[in-house]
Chains A and B, each alone.
Chain A
Amino acid sequence: MEIKMTLDCKGLSCPMPMMKIAKAMKELKSGEVLEVLGTDPGTKTDLPSWCEKSGNELVESSDLDGGINRFVLRKG
């Protein structure tokens, strides 16, 4: 899976990660993949429901060392 863009949201709190993710997804073409690195626990809850609503796919959600959450999204 080729990652088209990586978005660094580390240190940001609500609503900035979701705003940045939505903006980045607008810049991608259908099928392209976005990787997001963040530290706001709220994104873990907000992202799945936003993906479902916006027709994008949350391919992966994992916890890395250093309190970093990694998300991989495919544009629908």
Chain B
Amino acid sequence: MSKEKNSLSELFRMVFGKHWPVWVGGILLGLLNILLFAIKSPWGASGGITNLGDNLFSLFGMFSDKVVTPVSQNNYGMLVVLIVLGSFAGALFSKEFALRVPPKGEMIKGLLGGALMAVGATVGIGCSIGSFFSGVPALSGGALIFTFAMFVGVILSLKYLIWEMERFPKWSTGKSYTFLAAAPEKGKWQIIAGIIVLLGVILLAYSYTDTNPVMSWFIIIASLMGLISQRSRFCIVKSFRDPFMSGESHGTVGVIAGLLVSLVGFTVIKYFTIGDISEVSQRARELTWVFPNFWGKALLGGFIFGLGMTIAGGCAVGTLWRVGEGQIKLWFSLLGLVIFSPLSNSYIVPFVDGLLPQGAKFRAYLPDYIGYDGAFFLILLILIGWYAFVKWNERTGRFSAF
């Protein structure tokens, strides 16, 4: 019995004792993303965040003419909540949970970054997940434009952060507080709390099995995604930013690994029209996660989103799992996302749509232009080129700020 107990302790230490390599997280997230697509549709965050915002405004009687689906009935709303809970469980099991209150300036930057991400995601129809981590493997032309624009936004925003740190260092210094941290060699309560959260998630998933099995699986997969992201510190903004900041490439390699896995899975699902097509046509299955954002909306939205996620210090998923870990700056970032997504949908998106001609906001499905093989190899080539660049840059430091 004690041998089994030792083996289990060893497994627990392996999973929660140290952070995982980002590429492990990337591959696992890519696989789970394929499962989501097979069950219903790929991973996305901004739609769920907007649903949370709509429910919040509805609670206060605002935008009363809008029909709002309760979070508990919205797959993507629940996906967002469960990613936070999954990360919370991961942080508790690894005794890394603590409420970390940063200096005031950082909280303002979190809120501002979240608001910019909300505008970027609603204008661009998708965030760093929907229009990048899922959009690129979905063979969407708009996702490629969104990615390019997000990259430009990140570089500019990083330059701003460096300038701010040099010129106004006090904005990121000042009083900070930490609550509920586990002391070294102690903090068993965090593991017990983690078990309670895990049991709660299992019960929640079980409660949907009769009425909505898709939701049950969304709950399970989302909580795993939160846990995996927290353990591997998977973050899209890190993958774009770090090569130009510290020169590190491991965050980028992790994201590329996830994209590669998803690319293979998504292409197979689309090519063979795998999954439930009773509700949607074969063509609709092909066009899943190919949003009408090519090229203008993707360009503008991606750029604003890139600015926002760098200032916030977390992309869509990076914000969610850091919320679960207790990083208060990212709580403000999530607040910005939740409040400004419905506002942007109501006021900014119609304005942008009015400005852009129809030719700047259509669905561009790459296989329609260059075939499945052409689309697959184009994306593969971009990923290989990106990998080669970050590795070369890591070695030479040619484009790194530090």
Knowing A11-B178, A22-B402, A65-B184 touch, does A46 contact B248 (C-beta < 8 A)?
yes
Main secondary structure of the interface of A (DSSP, over half): helix
What number of residue pairs across chains A and B have CB atoms under 8 A from each other? Answer: 101
Q: How far is the CB of B241 from chain A (nearest CB, A)?
A: 7
Q: How far is the CB of A52 from chain B (nearest CB, A)?
A: 10
- Chain B residues lying within 8 Å of A12, measured Cβ to Cβ, are 102-103, 106, 172, 176, 329
Contacts of B151-166 to chain A: CB distance below 8 A: 161-162, 165-166
Judged by a CB distance under 8 angstroms, whether A14 is at the interface is yes
- In the complex the two chains form, what is the Cα distance from A51 to B41 in whole Å? 42
B245 touches A18 (CB 8 A): yes
Q: How far is the CB of A55 from chain B (nearest CB, A)?
A: 11
- Chain A residues lying within 8 Å of B205, measured Cβ to Cβ, are none
A15 touches B98 (CB 8 A): no
- Chain B residues lying within 8 Å of A31, measured Cβ to Cβ, are none
B327 touches A13 (CB 8 A): yes
- Chain A residues lying within 8 Å of B177, measured Cβ to Cβ, are 11
- Chain A residues lying within 8 Å of B330, measured Cβ to Cβ, are 13
Knowing A22-B246, A22-B402, A39-B178 touch, does A15 contact B325 (C-beta < 8 A)?
no
Binding site for B on A (CB under 8 A): 8, 10-16, 18-20, 22-23, 26, 39-42, 44-46, 49-50, 53-54, 63-68
- Chain A residues lying within 8 Å of B108, measured Cβ to Cβ, are none
- Chain B residues lying within 8 Å of A53, measured Cβ to Cβ, are 246-248, 394
Q: How far is the CB of A63 from chain B (nearest CB, A)?
A: 4
* Nearest A residue (CB) for B172: A16
B183 touches A65 (CB 8 A): yes
- Chain A residues lying within 8 Å of B181, measured Cβ to Cβ, are 39, 66-68
- In the complex the two chains form, what is the Cα distance from A26 to B165 in whole Å? 14
- In the complex the two chains form, what is the Cα distance from A54 to B135 in whole Å? 35
Q: How far is the CB of B245 from chain A (nearest CB, A)?
A: 6
Judged by a CB distance under 8 angstroms, whether B297 is at the interface is no
B184 touches A18 (CB 8 A): no
A13 touches B248 (CB 8 A): no
**Candidates B161, B184, B238, B322; contact of A19 at CB < 8 Å:** B161
A45 touches B106 (CB 8 A): no
- Chain B residues lying within 8 Å of A68, measured Cβ to Cβ, are 178, 181
- Chain B residues lying within 8 Å of A11, measured Cβ to Cβ, are 100-103, 106, 176-178, 328
- In the complex the two chains form, what is the Cα distance from A40 to B284 in whole Å? 43
- Chain B residues lying within 8 Å of A16, measured Cβ to Cβ, are 106, 165, 172, 313
Knowing A22-B402, A53-B394 touch, does A14 contact B235 (C-beta < 8 A)?
yes
Judged by a CB distance under 8 angstroms, whether B182 is at the interface is yes
B102 touches A8 (CB 8 A): no
* Nearest A residue (CB) for B175: A11
Knowing A23-B165, A45-B19 touch, does A10 contact B183 (C-beta < 8 A)?
no
- In the complex the two chains form, what is the Cα distance from A50 to B328 in whole Å? 25
- Chain A residues lying within 8 Å of B178, measured Cβ to Cβ, are 10-11, 39, 66-68
- In the complex the two chains form, what is the Cα distance from A40 to B233 in whole Å? 11
Q: Which 9 A-B pairs have the closest CB atoms?
A: A67-B181, A11-B176, A22-B402, A11-B102, A67-B98, A63-B184, A13-B327, A41-B96, A10-B176
- In the complex the two chains form, what is the Cα distance from A41 to B241 in whole Å? 19
- In the complex the two chains form, what is the Cα distance from A41 to B97 in whole Å? 9
- Chain B residues lying within 8 Å of A50, measured Cβ to Cβ, are 246, 248, 402
Q: List 15 A-B contacts (CB under 8 A).
A: A11-B176, A11-B328, A12-B172, A13-B102, A13-B314, A15-B241, A15-B245, A16-B165, A18-B402, A19-B165, A22-B246, A41-B325, A42-B233, A49-B250, A50-B246
